[in-house]
Chain A
């Protein structure tokens, strides 16, 4: 052992000095290089992982919202179609109703008109009848005034008129 120490000039003070040197290196490297670098790298790894996850989530959300939008669109389309159909049927129905109503009105109007016409006709007939009677009476009166007595004549004429219907009927 002594031989060894003598040959290599081993000195505990030198050993300590070299240990101190190494200690400085160890401390400096650990404190200012390895620790901050690895912390930075770890942080970066975490951040990248997080942002990748976020991107995935965003993509998923996008797909979901797209699907939702599409669903809503088809729903809206369906609804619109239904509304259109409903409107169409309603319109048809209303049209038909209107036509029906118009027809009914027309028929009532026609019926009214017919009635009126018939009334007027009967009224006219009455008037004509009375006029004819008057006329005949006047003429016969005038004729008979000159021919027979008034009484007989009137009886005669009225009787004949009763027997025969008017040609207008």
Chain B
């Protein structure tokens, strides 16, 4: 904490100093700033953070996987409990262990990746250590690291993965014909001449069904938007909140908000993962 605070204060002091010479803008930007360029690909601070998260996960997993034994000892017990209860939670959504086994690794990876990125953004130094860049006559403070989920690129990538992945999974699970009828309901029109004798209302009902299918397409786009913006908004807002609190009073005051953000990070990761699980489950279940 103190590192963050002191950095912020230092930055403020710097700002004051420089304000005499140059105006340094010091606000949290909605986008991730690029730290350096590799050819014409700008590497942003959130991408750096994301790499850090990947590195941590890979190292942790490799260390853990070396220690997996038939008779569990120490940390393996906890990991097994977590895995087992997570699987049970997933079971309650999917309704069958078979489906859970297929979907769970994806959802679990999403959860771990988002959780670690959310929490990495809270570590002191991330978002407050940086450099001052001078562009076009005014200087801007650019943090070296930024919580990866506080960048819409990350959350949008994840949301796209979740939604497109769930649709692909649906194709594999129920077959292409049944799946495509969810959106472009050709089957509904196809059925009309066959069933019209038994239930004449079908001539009104099935076109409506087909229209609902079209709305589903918009629903999929909405899923991407809601997933990505929910996560981005929560985490970004958390960072702004912490910054604001630190500016108001740098000591003690941000601590409760820090705890709040820890919980928010966990909850948001859980929500994202659970929603992904739900999307996968819905896509893999046959249309009614």
Please list the residues of chain A having a beta carbon within 8 angstroms of any beta carbon in chain B. Answer: 7-11, 13-19, 21-22, 24-26, 28-30, 32-38, 40-41, 43-44
Contacts and interface: CB of A to CB of B under 8 A. Distances in A.
15 contacts: A8-B30, A14-B32, A14-B153, A18-B148, A19-B160, A21-B51, A29-B61, A29-B105, A30-B109, A32-B61, A34-B83, A34-B108, A38-B87, A40-B69, A41-B80
Nearest to A6: B31
Interface in B41-87: 41-42, 44, 47, 50-51, 53-54, 57-58, 61-62, 64-65, 68-70, 79-80, 83-84, 87
A26 B106 contact: yes
Q: Is the interface of A mostly helix, strand, loop or mixed?
A: helix
B104 interface: yes
A10 to B, nearest CB: 6
B47 A17 contact: yes
B80 A25 contact: no
Nearest to A35: B105
A159 to B, nearest CB: 138
A18 B68 contact: no
Given A8-B31, A29-B105, A37 B158 contact: no
A26 B276 CA distance: 14
Give the one of B148, B154, B157 with max A CB within 10 A: B157
A119 to B, nearest CB: 108
Nearest to B152: A8
B202 to A, nearest CB: 39
